[in-house]
């Protein structure tokens, strides 16, 4: 007997291995998958401007990269003794304007260089509700704790989001014609928007993603949203806030992702890397004991065995 509905995820016709260069951008759910990929030693580059939830804010980022449009001090606001850009997360804020511009442009350049050689871009969309500030055309990436009265809150339409996703694809192909786009819809509910409003927002994003995938042969969709809400529909799979997936749910979604996108040899290598990572995290009772020295010798031999077959993998 089946006591749950299994969300079907067809095996991908293209596969990810430990040489696949992956950029991830979007909602905090990207951080979960990105951390798993980093732990397993895939070459990844994640959220260079910090967490961004709205596709129109993501579009502006990729447009800047494709056009090589650098930031200047005129793009900054000074709020609470911090220089900031409404195009980025608060992690990019600095107390000095020159330093802030330099930091933003270094991130742009690093993003451009990575995207030129990237194989896959993972985009995780979080919300269709956006906040527009008078000093910035379009949706802000982050409100930086600026008073809400300075913003106008709007729900982006399906057509607006679809257009943004199509323009993101165009910008990407200007940089790298071969890159694949893997969309996912964040299963994290934006409860502060309201129950009905959150559902409306997710529906707009979901429909727009399917529209974008339908017209771009190198765009794809991974159903993380459906897996959590339909397959794992139990509060034991949620964190204490009852909104974010907990570690058990993240591990399960990671396993479903692995089944779809990894070769058997990649999954086997992940298992070997996991053993090394756990061994590196091990804290001995007696560092100078003979037992621990044997343990370290065995661990070093395992690391050298992996690196001999996969020179691009390094362990710290």
Residue 222: which of 71, 2, 11 has the closest Cα? 11
Q: Please state the separation of Cα 151 from the chain's center in Å.
A: 26
Q: What percent of the chain has pLDDT over 70?
A: 100
C-beta neighbour count of 163 within 10 angstroms: 18
pLDDT tens digits, 135-160: 898 999 999 999 999 999 999 999 99
Quote the crossing angle between the two packed helices 247-261 and 264-280, to the nearest 10°.
140
- What is the C-alpha separation between 297 and 67, in angstroms, rounded? 51
Q: Is the predicted pLDDT of residue 294 greater than 80, yes or no?
A: yes
pLDDT for 29 equals 79
Q: Is the predicted pLDDT of residue 1 greater than 80, yes or no?
A: no
Q: What is the mean pLDDT of residues 92-97?
A: 97
pLDDT tens digits, 246-273: 999 999 999 999 999 999 999 999 999 9
pLDDT for 282 equals 85
Adjacent-strand bridge partners of 264: none
Adjacent-strand bridge partners of 62: none
pLDDT tens digits, 167-223: 999 999 999 999 999 999 999 999 999 999 999 999 999 999 999 999 999 999 999
Q: In the structure encoding, which two tokens stand for residue 279, read together?
A: 């061994």
Instruction: Say which CATH topology domain 22-262 has.
Output: Rossmann fold (3.40.50)
For tokens 């771009």, the residue is 216
* Domain spans, the chain: 22-262, 263-316
pLDDT for 4 equals 82
pLDDT bin (cut points 50, 70, 90) of residue 291 is confident
Q: Where are the alpha helices (DSSP H) in 97-194?
A: 97-117, 158-175
Give residues with Cβ within 8 angstroms of 123, minimum separation 6.
Answer: 25, 26, 55, 58, 168, 181, 182, 183, 184
- What is the C-alpha separation between 260 and 222, in angstroms, rounded? 9
Q: In the structure encoding, which two tokens stand for residue 195, read together?
A: 């129950």
Backbone angles phi, psi at 264, to 5 degrees: -60, -40
């Amino acid at each position: 007997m089946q006591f749950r509905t299994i969300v079907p995820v067809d095996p991908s016709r293209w596969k990810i291995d430990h040489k696949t260069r992956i950029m991830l951008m979007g909602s905090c759910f990207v951080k979960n998958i990105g951390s798993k990929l980093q732990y397993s030693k895939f070459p990844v580059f994640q959220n260079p401007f910090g967490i961004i939830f709205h596709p129109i804010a993501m579009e502006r980022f990729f447009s800047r990269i494709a056009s090589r449009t650098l930031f200047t001090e005129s793009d900054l606001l000074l709020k609470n003794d911090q220089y900031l850009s409404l195009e980025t997360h608060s992690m990019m804020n600095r107390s000095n304007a020159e330093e802030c511009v330099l930091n933003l442009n270094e991130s742009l350049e690093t993003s451009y260089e990575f995207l030129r050689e990237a194989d896959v871009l993972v985009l995780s969309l979080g919300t269709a509700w956006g906040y527009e500030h008078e000093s910035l055309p379009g949706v802000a990436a982050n409100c930086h704790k600026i008073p809400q009265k300075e913003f106008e809150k709007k729900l982006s339409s399906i057509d607006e989001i679809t257009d943004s996703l199509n323009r993101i694809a165009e910008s990407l192909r200007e940089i790298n014609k071969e890159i694949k786009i893997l969309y996912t819809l964040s299963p994290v509910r934006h409860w502060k928007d309201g129950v009905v409003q959150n559902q409306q927002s997710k529906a707009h994003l979901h429909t727009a993603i399917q529209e974008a995938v339908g017209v771009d042969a190198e765009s794809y969709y991974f159903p993380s949203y459906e897996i959590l809400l339909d397959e794992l529909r139990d509060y034991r799979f949620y964190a204490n806030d009852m909104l974010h997936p907990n570690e058990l749910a993240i591990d399960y979604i990671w396993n479903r992702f692995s089944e779809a996108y990894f070769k058997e040899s990649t999954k086997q290598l992940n298992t070997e890397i996991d053993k090394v990572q756990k061994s590196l995290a091990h804290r001995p009772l007696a560092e100078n004991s003979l037992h621990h020295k044997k343990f370290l010798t065995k661990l070093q031999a395992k690391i050298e065995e992996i690196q001999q077959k996969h020179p691009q993998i390094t362990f710290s």
